[in-house]
A = this chain, B = another copy of it.
Amino acid sequence: MRDIALSPAPSESTSETETPRLNRRQAAKVRTRQKVLDAARQLFAERGYEPATIRDIAKGAGMSTGAVFANFQDKAELFEAVLSTDMVKLAETMKAAAASEGSMRGRLLAALAAGYHASLEQLPLVQAVIARSWFQPVAAEMRTRAAIKPILSVVTDTLQAGLGEGELRQDADVRLLSELIYDAFLSNYRRAAYDGWTTAQLSERMGKQVDVILAGALSRQ
C-alpha cells in the first residue's frame, strides 16, 4: 500500500485527486470520530482497558455516550482502532531509528530503544494490549497480529539487511530470531510495569538478550 503522506505523486500539485472530497456533514463525522479516538487513547493510556469506561471516554470527548456508540460498536472496537493507529506510528518511529548508521546490532537496538521510549509514557495501554492478546476471540487475535506486524517487520528487516551485509550467517533463521527478539522485547515491559524500569534499563537488558539470541547466528570474523 502506498503511503500518500510520505510519497506524494510528484507531478500533481495537490493530493485532492486521490483523497475523496468530504462534504460538511462527512467532515464533521470524521472530526467526531477523531475526538472519540483521542479521548479513548488518553483514558486507555492512563488506566488500561477495564477501568476506562465508555461513559468517561464520552465525557473526555465532550459528547454523549450515544454519540460514541454512533461511531463505535463497543469498547473493544474502540480499543482496536486506537491500537492499530498507535502500532503504525510506533513502527514508523522504530523504523526511523533502525535507519541510522552503524552495525546491524546497533541499528536493531536503536529501533528497540526507540520503541520503549515512545511507548513507556502510555505503559497501561501497552499492558492492556498484551493482557488482552491472551484472551480474545480468534478473529480479534488475527487483527492484533496484523496490527503488530509492522513492529515485527522492523526487527525482521533489520536482521535481513544484516544477512545481506554478511553480519549474519547465510543459514540464519531470520524469522525465528526475530520472533525470539520480539518476545523478549515484549516481556521486558513487565519490568517497567512492576519494577519501575526506565527506557535505559530496558534497553540495556535488551542488548544482553539480543547478544544471546544472535550469538550463534553471527558470521565468524
**Interface size of A in residues (CB-CB distance below 8 Å):** 33
What is the interface of chain A mostly: helix, strand, loop, or mixed? helix
Contact A193 B134 (CB under 8 A): yes
- In residues 164-202 of chain A, which contact B (Cβ within 8 Å)? 173, 176-177, 180, 183-184, 187, 190, 193-194
Contact A180 B209 (CB under 8 A): yes
CB of A133, distance to nearest CB on chain B (Å): 8
CB of A211, distance to nearest CB on chain B (Å): 8
Q: Which residue of B131, B187, B211, B213 contacts A212 across the interface (Cβ within 8 Å)?
A: B213
How often does this chain occur in the complex, in copies? 2
Q: How far is the CA of A193 from the CA of B136 in the complex (A)?
A: 10
Q: How far is the CA of A16 from the CA of B134 in the complex (A)?
A: 45
CB of A52, distance to nearest CB on chain B (Å): 12
Q: Which residue of B49, B176, B183, B215 contacts A187 across the interface (Cβ within 8 Å)?
A: B183
Contact A135 B141 (CB under 8 A): no
Contact B208 A212 (CB under 8 A): no
Which chain B residues border A193 with CB–CB below 8 Å?
A: 134, 141
Besides A131-B134, A142-B194, 15 more A-B contacts (Cβ < 8 Å) are A131-B131, A133-B190, A134-B134, A141-B193, A176-B208, A176-B212, A177-B212, A180-B184, A180-B212, A187-B187, A212-B217, A214-B216, A215-B215, A215-B216, A216-B216
- Interface residues of chain A, those whose CB is within 8 Å of chain B, are 48-50, 127-128, 130-135, 138, 141-142, 173, 176-177, 180, 183-184, 187, 190, 193-194, 208-209, 211-217
